[in-house]
Structure formats: structure tokens, C-alpha cells
Structure 1
Amino acid sequence: MAALKRLHAPLAWVEGRWQRDVLLSVDASGHWSEVTANVPAPPGAEVLAGPLIPSLVNAHSHAFQRAFVGLAERREAGQDDFWSWRDRMYALALRISPQQLRAVASQLYAELLRGGYTQVCEFHYLHHPAQGQAFDDELDMAWALAEAAQDAGIGLTLLPVVYTRSGFGASGLRPDQHRFAADADWAWRASQRVMAAGLPRVNAGVALHSLRGASPADMTRLRQLVGATDVPIHIHVAEQTAEVADCLQATGRRPIQWLAEEGGLDPRWQLVHATHAEPAEIEAVARSGAGIVICPGTEANLGDGLADLPRWLSHGVPLTVGSDSQVTRGWVEELRWLEYGQRLTARQRNVAAAPGTQASSAARLFDAAVTGGARAAGFAAWGLTPGARADAMVLNREADGLRGLPDEALLDAVVFGSNGSPWQSVWVAGRARPWRAPGRVGDAFEAAMRELWRSDG
């Protein structure tokens, strides 16, 4: 396919290192058709004003929870943990409408774009009306998310979630979970409809909420429906120690152990959080080819614990990050805290680095997230490479933390020394996207927040 646009970067992060004078061609579908280093800028090429790096995939998002950010940071009495946070979060989950969801998600997706994400994997389980009445279209909530992604200009991987029970051994969902209800047939039908719609930059996979939220029969049925179709399959697993204890009591095995032995893991699978994993479980996941999605901002906010990052990395398990509950909405902070959490517990520095192969913690984590993000979103390629969508970010060398640095230190400084979003433009499918959402997006978000929280003052 002939190039419709050519970009020239004086410096670009290609194949895991900085390369100079990089010419990038964009084809008619908005993908890179050619990426070549050491080429002078040809006539007609757009010369970029700063170093070019890949954007990242946000591999785990609950968009509706953007409306809950900042509203669960007080403890009036007793103990506050993941489970008490979840019960309060349900107050939002039970009343948000499709119109409000679109307003909240449009604001979130604009913020994610500003935070350096150009594709978001939406782990979607708000399927049905809050009060039990039927939507005109059973996918009204899903379409609201797709419309929000179009509003913001971000790519979307929609993951309809199988959710059939409230816990191990339960026969169904709790009354405050009724709008989440979806069996494997429903989720697969939803995924197929989203794919058939042919929306720009929108694709779909499937998800199971968790081992406590979906039964072995649900998993078997979903695997039958998916068959050999190459779509991403996501699941929450081993986020909380209580979940691990409940799984042990119900099955005699830990959650990741059970998945590895019974779940049919393969490279399509993404294990979200995977916080509490034993060495043998990590080895089993590595053998399967499945990936993991770590969400450091949310896991810190909810007191989940720390994943065994060095062991996941040493076993070569595909790894990427997500914003989850939206308390953080940029990948710089996620990668920073992915490393910092390890430093605090190990009382060492540059824990993620691999001397002899990749001495930079920032580069090792960034490259892992680029590669792992492609698989999480169901893409064959991601980054500054032919065949990948032409998504990227132009760094601002005058940004706080980057000014005056030598080229080789730029990515280290982006992750560990910058404030905010240290880039001057974000590109999606070969087009620069606006820095900020139109005022109408913010106005709609504020109106939705007033409606959702009016009863709370």
C-alpha cells in the first residue's frame, strides 16, 4: 500500500534503542508501512520537532470508575480495604446510565490520550439497566463506550465480561450485582456484534470477571465459543489474598495454579493483576505463553500488594500495564511505581534492569509494555515497526526533567524524572490528536458527576 504521509524524526525509539534520522511512512489504513533509520529527511516529509517514542496500550480499564476517583479516600471508622472500597463503588455501578457513561468515558479517554495511551482495553461488565428494565439494545452500555472512544480519538478494545456468580460456591449474583449478569454466550455474542460494527479503531475480545465471578462451566463454554479465534481473553486473578484463600478452600488450589491446570491458558490470555503468585505458578504461566497486566496505581490505592516483578521478568512472561480504577491515568506513573514498589521492598535500585542486556529499568519496562500491550489488545504488532498502527508521541525536550539531557538518558528521565506528560503531541493512526478534549466533553462530564452524586451532597 502506497504511503500517504511520511514523517521524519531526528531521534526515535526503534527496536529497543534510540536511532537517528528515522523516516516513517504511513499508509492509507493509518499503519506504519516503513520505518528506516539513518535516512536524511526527504522533500515533502514532515519533520518532527522532537524525539519520537511509541505510545502505549492501556491494557486494563473500568471507565465508569473515573466517576469515583477521589470519592473513596476517607476512613470514618473500622478497617478500609479492597472489599469495603468495592461495596462503596457499587453505589456508582448501580446507577450510572448509558448517557452518563459516555460522558464519563469521553473525559477519561481524553485524559488517557494525554497520558500517553492511544489504545484502551475496556474490561466491561456494566451490561444491563440499573433497575432491571430492558435497554432498547442490550449493548447500549457498550455502544456508549465505543462512542466515547470516538469522541476522544483513542482506540478501543472492548472486552465484554462473563459474570455469573458472587463468589466460589455461590449459585448466582448478589442483588447489587444484577446489572453485571452475563454468561459466556452473551459475552461472545456482544464481542461479535462489536467486531461486526466495523467502527474505526475499535476491536473486541472477551473476558471472565474472575474465578470467583465465573464458574468452571462458564470458562469451558467460553473456550468452546471462542475456539481457535485469535482474540484477547482477559481475567482478573489473584489480586487479593482473600481471593487466594477462598480459591484454596473451594478448589484446593491457588487461583493462578487452577487457571494454569484447568483454564487452557495460551498466548491469547491476559491475567490481570496476578499479584499473589508463587514461583511455580509463574513458571506455569511462562510455559503457557499467557501475559499479565499489572496496574500499580490501582493496586497501591486498594492495598492489593506487590507482584513479583523480577520473577515475572526473568521468566519472559509478556507484561504490560493498565489504569484499572483510574486513580492514575498516564503510563509514566504506572511504570514509575512498578519499579518503585520493588525498590521499597527490596531496598535496592534499578530492580527491573538486566545488566548485560538492558541496564535501564525504564527501557526494560517500557519495551515490555509495548510488546505486552499489543497482545493484550489483540494486535500482531505495536510500536514504531512496519504493520503496527501509526501511533506515537513526540517528546518535548524543554519539558520539566528532560531539558539539557543527553539523548541516551531521555527515556530514563521520562519515567523517573519528568512531571506530567513530557510530550508535545500524541499521534493516532498517523494523525496528531488534540491535547485537550473539546469543552463540551468536560461540561458533559461535570453534568454527569452532579447527577450521579447529587444525593451525596
Structure 2
Amino acid sequence: MRRIWAEQALLPEGWAENVAVEISADGRIATVMTGADPGGQRLTTLLPAPANLHSHAFQRAMAGMTERRGVQSGDSFWTWRQLMFRFLDQVTPDHVEAIAAFVQMEMLEAGYATNVEFHYLHHQPGGAAYANIAEMSERIAAAAGQSGIGLTLLPVQYQFGGCDGRPLGPGQVRFGTTPDTYTKLLDHAGRALHALPADTALGVAPHSLRAVAPGTLADIAGLTEGPVHMHLAEQIAEVAEVQAHLGTRPVEWLIGNVAVDPRWCLIHCTQMRPHETEALAKTGAVAGLCPITEASLGDGIFDGVRWQAAGGAFGIGSDSNIRISLSEELRSLEYSQRLRDQSRATLATPKRSTGRVLFDAVTQGGAQAAGRASGAIQPGLWADLMALDGTAVDLDGRRGDDTLDTYIFAGDDRMVTDVWAAGRHLVQSGRHIGHDRITAAYRAAMIDLRGRI
């Protein structure tokens, strides 16, 4: 047994003082004791560490490269996507492994314990499969072996270039799968995970209503018992295309035609009408929110206030990975609501502060979306834990919800000192235990990529 002791810890029933947590050899929380005597590793504030529920690891290498305006009168998600497609033509399996390990390391240093990887880069430039159809999935798994992060891998089914069933364009062919090849890829990807720890999970990801045959969604969901993730209602043009071809808006169509339940995580949902928000929340599905990326791409603002009022679950993802910061994602989500509604503390309740509401939601919603037994400091769950720096000047003397509010709205991820993923103590004194090695490999991959572009 390994023992951690904290002056305060956020438990399922609320804040507690003098908390001892024992972690068993299998990485699960064995016991939680309040009012305990100090012993073991001593911390100031101990929190459950959330899952990062939506990531495209390879896009990290594009960070800072897409901020110039093109020749068109207005840049958008769609012009950004064309730049992404051109970048993809140069990315090799070795690049992907180095990039993914670096991304996962940054996630851990930011406080995330789990990477839910929405993985759609499957094939060679030009679209031909690798000799091993799951080559790229194996590279994501190998990266997790280096970083130690908890991994939920979601191989993506991506068949069409649009709702009309048109073939994939040149930039999309590396993603392409038919139902048959997707089943084979999923099987091989599952085998690639066998070498990783027991907390690893496999799910499925039909990319979007634009990229799969809508009638196949139930079949795709039935391929595993793990989570089901899909992009939904992200862009105005996407909503218009779905409505033109399916006769109704994306959320309305999905709820009316598919048995959406708590296994599902719908990503972005920034273009929903009030009745759609309320209806989708009541399905028990998780809203996968990526506020930094959604702001970067001009997607729109998720209606978090209405979603919360309807009892909806949500979690946070870093998506394009241009900026991996748990605290900034949470801050951006709340501030987007304030700007839209010209209000303050929009998600707070009379009993819980804004930071507390946000943190409770993303730990629980993230665990649900990852298909992971985590999300709380509770016996039997994976020991996904994060600690905040009690010596940080802004945290000095703060207790309870004030700690979370200060961390999210006045601090940043430099306040994170330690992170455990299923009991693996991977971040110590604010730094990943393999930081130098993983960073050097990423730097070498980027030098090579810049020489190709």
C-alpha cells in the first residue's frame, strides 16, 4: 500500500480535512480515511484528476501555424481544415508516436489523468492502408506506454466526404474506413492495447453524421461495450448540410433515430436550439466540450446554463491541442457563458461555487465519457488524483471551494504539483517523470516535420 495524506481533499460527499488515501498495488484506491494522522506523502490539497475526453493528438504539431488569414475574405473552420489536410500529408507513424507522447505528457502536467483519443489518422498519405491496418493505433498505444497516462482509445469510422455520400477528398483519405475495414481496424486496435495496464479502454467513434451512413450508427455502437463518441452540431454549415439531406437538424435526427444513452459522448454541440439542448441532456449522454478549440475555430458557445438546468452531464477535452490547460478550459467555459448572458457566476449554485460546479462536473462527466471507473476519491475506483501547490501565493490559506475558484480563475496549471493515473505517480513537483526524454523526441519529430512542409 502507498499512502498519501492531505490537509484537505475533495471527496464525493464534499471537502474533508486530514485525509489519508491508500493506493493498492493494482492502482485502485483501497481506503479513504478522514481525520487521519499525517503519514506517507504529505500534500495540501488533493483532488480527483479528470479525463481529457476529446483529443486529436497529431494536431498538437500544428499549434501556432494556423493564425494567418488566407486569400479568402473570411477564414473559418473550413479553411482551417484545408490547412490541416495539407499538414497531414507529411505525418509519419514515428511522428505520431512522438507527438502523442508529448501531448499526453502535457495533459498529465496540466492535471488530466486520462487521454480519450478520438483517433482518425489511420492510413498512409494517399489513403493506402499500412501493412498493419492498426499501425497508427499501435503508435497511440505506444505513446501511452511512454507517458503512463490512462488511455481510452476511440478508433474513428470515417467513410464519406459529406452527407450526400460523396467520396473522401484528398485530405481525408488517410481517415477512410468502410464498415468492414473499420471492424477489422477496431479488432486490431484492441489487440494493441493488451500490452498496456488494466485501466486502458476501447470505444468507438463514428466521426459525424456527415462522415458515416446514419443507418449504421447502431451497428457501430454495438461493436464494443465501451463509450461511443461523435461530433455533433459543431458548425452552422454542418447543421445546414444535415438538415438538407436528412430533413431535420443533427440533434433532432440523432435523438429521433438512435437510442442515445449514457454510453454516448457528443462533442461540441455548439449549434443547438433550446429544445435540442434540453432533450439531449435528458438522454444521459455527456456533452464533450472543448472551449479553447471551439473559440479558436469560431464554432460558437455551448449553452451550458440550459444544459445544467436540464441535468446534463459534461466534460472537457483539449481537441486540437493548440493549448493544453485544464484550468483554462474550465475558465473559458464559464467566461463564455458570462459574455453571452452578460452575467456572473453563471454555473454556480447556492451551495457550490463556480469552480466547484465546474470541477465536479468534469471529473464525473469525464469518467463517464472515458468508460473509466474514476472521477472521485473513493475506494474501488482507479487512483486518478491531482494535488495543488499549497505554497502558491494565491492558494495560501484557501480552503474548500475557494481553493478551486482560485486555481481556475486566478491561477493556472503551474499550481498542479502531482498527478497519479491509476496509481502511477507520473507528475512530481510539477514535472512529468519522463519530461526530458519525451520532449527531446517531440523536438526531433518537429524538426523533421518542418523540413518536409
TM range (shorter): over 0.9
Among 362, 380, 392, which residue is 2:385 paired with? 392
Among 200, 206, 209, which residue is 2:207 paired with? 209
Q: Structure 1 residue 306 and structure 2 residue 295: aligned?
A: no
Q: Identify the residue that residue 437 of structure 2 maps to in structure 1.
A: 440
Q: Give identity over the alignment, percent.
A: 38
Corresponding residue pairs, total: 445
Confirm or deny: 8 A CA contact 2:234 2:269 kept in the other structure. yes
Confirm or deny: 8 A CA contact 2:122 2:129 kept in the other structure. no
Q: How far apart in 2 are the matches of 1:328 and 1:243? A: 25
Q: Identify the residue that residue 288 of structure 1 maps to in structure 2.
A: 283
Q: How far apart in 2 are the matches of 1:250 and 1:134? A: 30
Between 1 and 2, higher relative CO (CA 8 Å, sep ≥ 6) is seen in 2
CA apart distance, 1:400: 4.8
Q: How far apart in 2 are the matches of 1:132 and 1:455? A: 19
Q: How far apart in 2 are the matches of 1:48 and 1:295? A: 33
Q: Identify the residue that residue 53 of structure 1 maps to in structure 2.
A: 47
- Summarize the Cα distance change of 1:354–1:449 in structure 2 as closer, same or farther, 3 Å threshold: same
CA apart distance, 1:188: 4.0
Confirm or deny: 8 A CA contact 1:184 1:219 kept in the other structure. no
Runs of 4+ in 1 over 4 A off after TM superposition: none
Confirm or deny: 8 A CA contact 2:127 2:176 kept in the other structure. no
Q: How far apart in 1 are the matches of 2:236 and 2:393? A: 39
Q: Structure 1 residue 262 and structure 2 residue 257: aligned?
A: yes
Confirm or deny: 8 A CA contact 1:59 1:373 kept in the other structure. yes
- 1:450 match: secondary structure: helix
Q: Identify the residue that residue 68 of structure 1 maps to in structure 2.
A: 62
Confirm or deny: 8 A CA contact 2:117 2:154 kept in the other structure. yes
Q: Structure 1 residue 120 and structure 2 residue 120: aligned?
A: no
- 1:394 match: secondary structure: strand
Q: Please list the CA deviations of residues 223-281 of structure 1 after superposition, one character each: whole Å capped at 9, or x if unmatched.
A: 4x43xx53100000001011111111111211111111112211101000011112221
Structure 1 gaps of 5+ residues are none
The 5-angstrom pairing of residues 57-456 of structure 1 reads 57-77=51-71, 78-196=73-191, 197-198=193-194, 199-200=196-197, 201-223=199-221, 225-226=222-223, 229-355=224-350, 357-358=351-352, 360-434=353-427, 435-436=431-432, 437-456=434-453
Confirm or deny: 8 A CA contact 1:230 1:378 kept in the other structure. no
- The two structures have a TM-score, normalised by structure 1, of 0.93
CA apart distance, 1:5: 2.1
Confirm or deny: 8 A CA contact 2:63 2:321 kept in the other structure. yes
Q: Please list the CA deviations of residues 291-337 of structure 1 after superposition, one character each: whole Å capped at 9, or x if unmatched.
A: 11010000000010101000111111110010000122121110000
- Summarize the Cα distance change of 1:120–1:165 in structure 2 as closer, same or farther, 3 Å threshold: same
Q: Please list the CA deviations of residues 106-132 of structure 1 after superposition, one character each: whole Å capped at 9, or x if unmatched.
A: 111111111111101000011111134
Give the stretch that moved more between structures: 380-389 or 23-32.
380-389
Q: How far apart in 1 are the matches of 2:343 and 2:226? A: 39
Confirm or deny: 8 A CA contact 1:54 1:384 kept in the other structure. yes
Confirm or deny: 8 A CA contact 1:116 1:421 kept in the other structure. no
Letter in structure 2 aligned against 1:218: T
- Summarize the Cα distance change of 1:406–1:5 in structure 2 as closer, same or farther, 3 Å threshold: closer
Q: How far apart in 2 are the matches of 1:93 and 1:172? A: 18
CA apart distance, 1:150: 1.4
CA apart distance, 1:16: 5.5
- 1:175 match: secondary structure: coil
Q: How far apart in 1 are the matches of 2:443 and 2:449? A: 10
Letter in structure 2 aligned against 1:9: A
Letter in structure 2 aligned against 1:405: R
Give the stretch that moved more between structures: 56-65 or 16-25.
16-25
Confirm or deny: 8 A CA contact 1:399 1:418 kept in the other structure. no
CA apart distance, 1:83: 0.3
Q: How far apart in 2 are the matches of 1:179 and 1:134? A: 8
Confirm or deny: 8 A CA contact 1:55 1:116 kept in the other structure. yes
- The two structures have a TM-score, normalised by structure 2, of 0.94
Q: How far apart in 2 are the matches of 1:230 and 1:401? A: 44
Q: Please list the CA deviations of residues 365-416 of structure 1 after superposition, one character each: whole Å capped at 9, or x if unmatched.
A: 1101011011111124422112221121121022253234345411110111
Structure 2 gaps of 5+ residues are none
- 1:50 match: secondary structure: strand
Q: Identify the residue that residue 36 of structure 1 maps to in structure 2.
A: 33
Q: How far apart in 1 are the matches of 2:43 and 2:358? A: 26
Q: Identify the residue that residue 21 of structure 2 maps to in structure 1.
A: 24
Confirm or deny: 8 A CA contact 1:48 1:394 kept in the other structure. no
CA apart distance, 1:219: 1.6
